[in-house]
Amino acid sequence: MSLGGLVEKTWVALDEIQRKIYLERPDIAMLTRWRGAQLSQHPPASKMIKSLPKKILAGTVLLHLLSYNQSSASTCEAGIPVSVGDGRKGIQIDSSWSGATVPFDAIARGDVVYFGYYDADRWLTVADLNLYSSVVCRSRLPSQFSGWDSHNRVALAFDRNGQLHIAANMHGSPLVYGVSARPGNISDISMSPMIGRDEDKVTYPNFINGSDGNLYFVYRNGLSGDGGWFVNVRNGETWRRALNAPIFASTWEGSPTSAYPSVFRVSKDGYVHLAVVWRRSPDLATNYAITYARTRDFVSWTDQNGKPITTPIDPGSSTMIEATGENQGLLNSARVSVTPAGVPIVTYTRYGPDGKNIIVAASPSAGEWRRSTIATAGNQSLAAGLGTVPNLPTFGDLSFSGSTIASVTINFPGEPPRRVLFDADTLLVADAPIIGSRPVAASPLKVSAPPGLTDARLNARKIRIDGMGERTTGSMVYFSQGLNRDQPRECTSSEPRVCAPPPSPLIFVP
């Protein structure tokens, strides 16, 4: 083929790439439009570009487009000390977007803490903090958050080679994933697909460092009420499917269904224990059952007694904890904790007999699951609707004192938080004091929220230590506006900044 023919084919290919970018990656398209506008404002530059030979321009455009698959060069500076109360000091890592409550992530490895978040301009960003020098480095990734969808959480992990992985900014949208070329380096993160299929409508990215040393990636592809969950496993420098089919079914008894599993976390016994809430449609009110299953490798699954469970898992093949039926206030916020004796306890919330929200603890006993109500709200908070629904009951992971006493912090909307203690063997409740009238998330840190936020929340996320199981070191703290069903907020005369709120400090608290 002649050079001219090769150039012409390259130009056609570039046109197709540009077309796909404008259709599928509006964040990158916006940047290319912005940079083009910059050039058009400078006639000499614009004239020079128009006069370039087509083959040179083709190469320039190709390099320009490919550059958006890489992280930006990292910038480093001394971290800013911040008072967090009681004489303690934190370090400000950056300023972050505060328009919506989105789970950011952080992980410590050696002497460095790594942070994944959306910066003040909503760009997906990775930062690292050297704990000895207090130097902070930041690197932007080529993905910009729309600003309002609370589903678009950030997930970080290291593989066995020390390479940093990140996935974020997705809710029923194409996979946004990157990996560092060198161990622990944030300046050379490349964005790419994983395996290239079932990656067009991704939500809920989860990295799990398995007890076998492998890094797993679990995610949903599809929409609420009709989505399949897939598992990839890192194989050296590439990803492959752990299973060639979804781990959870997308239909059951002839109707669409969608699984909402609890946090994927490896317990001390090497198992990932899961409580799965099942839903019929995107409406929260259609949650209808909660079941249990466990695995070590995401290939072989069993119930609590070791009886095999076939995949794809559905409400009939897994162990039924409770079949509540629809419109019973069941939330997809179940948690699994494992007692010092190795027994899983599942906590979840639903309506009680009188219609008020309750918190239920359940554990296996004699081959079945027994349930106990450990807390009841004073009123009903309606569990229905689309998006991330606000003003619903929340609760934390269980803590254990000795071998038998479990405790959990519970928040019912409009009520002071309470700490509930119960016997981990019998699930019987002991008296517990109310621990204050302010939300647990707002104390004990003494950090002021930026002015202009509506329903300001102080988010405090514990920082995992890579390779140390459930051990943590310090917290990542940031403010955000409360849940708004994933919808943009509109500025009004009474709330003039709610649609474009000031950024929040993103703080590391030792």
SS (H, E, C) 33-70: HHHHHHHHCCHHHHHHHHHCCHHHHHHHHHHHHHHHHE
Residue 7 has pLDDT above 70, yes or no: no
43: left (phi over 0), alpha (psi -120 to 50) or beta: alpha
Task: Judge contact between 300 and 308, C-beta under 8 A.
Answer: yes
Q: With beta carbons less than 8 A apart as the criterion, state whether 229 and 248 touch.
A: yes
Mean pLDDT of 125-144: 98
Q: Please state the rounded mean pLDDT for residues 166-184.
A: 97
* Sign of the alpha-carbon torsion through 146, 148, 149, 153: positive
pLDDT at 200: 97
Is 406 in contact with 337 (CB distance < 8 Å)?
A: yes
Q: Quick check: helix, strand or coil at residue 15?
A: helix
Is 70 exceeded by the pLDDT of residue 20? no
Segment (H or E) for 30:
helix 26-40
Q: Which residue has the higher pLDDT, 126 or 65?
A: 126
- C-alpha span between 410 and 444 (Å, rounded): 17
* Buried residues in 430-441 as b, exposed as e (16+ CB within 10 A): eebeeeeeeebe
On whether the CB atoms of residues 148 and 487 are closer than 8 A, the answer is: yes
467-484 tens-digit pLDDT: 888 889 999 999 999 999
Place of tokens 């194989």: 235
d(CA 327, CA 395): 21
pLDDT of residue 404: 85
135 C-beta neighbours (distance < 10 Å), count:
15
Q: How many CB atoms lie within 10 A of CB 71?
A: 24
Q: Report the alpha-carbon distance of residue 436 to residue 439 in Å, rounded.
A: 8
- How far is the C-alpha of 403 from the C-alpha of 425, rounded, in Å? 9
SS (H, E, C) 445-509: CCCCCCCCCCCCEEEEEEEEECCCCCCEEEEEEEEECCCCCCCCCCCCCCCCCCCCCCCEEEEEE
Asked if residues 70 and 192 have their Cβ atoms less than 8 Å apart, the reply is no
* Range in 57-61, 165-169, 263-267 with the lowest mean pLDDT: 57-61
Q: What predicted TM-score, i.e. pTM, was given to this entire model?
A: 0.82
Per the model's pLDDT, the better-predicted residue between 248 and 27 turns out to be: 248
Please calculate the CA angle 364-367-369 and round it to the nearest 5 degrees.
35
Hey, what amino acid is at 54? K
∠ CA 191-473-456, rounded to 5°? 75
Share of the chain above pLDDT 70, in %: 84
pLDDT tens digits for range 61-95 = 343 344 457 777 789 999 999 999 988 999 999 99
What's the Rg (C-alpha) of the chain?
24
Does the pLDDT at position 47 exceed 50?
Answer: no
Q: Contact at 8 Å (CB) between 290 and 346?
A: yes
**What's 74's DSSP letter?**
P
Residue 386 tokens read as 């689309």
- Give the residue extent of every domain in the chain: 3-67
Phi-psi region of 26 (alpha: psi -120 to 50; beta: other; left: phi over 0): alpha
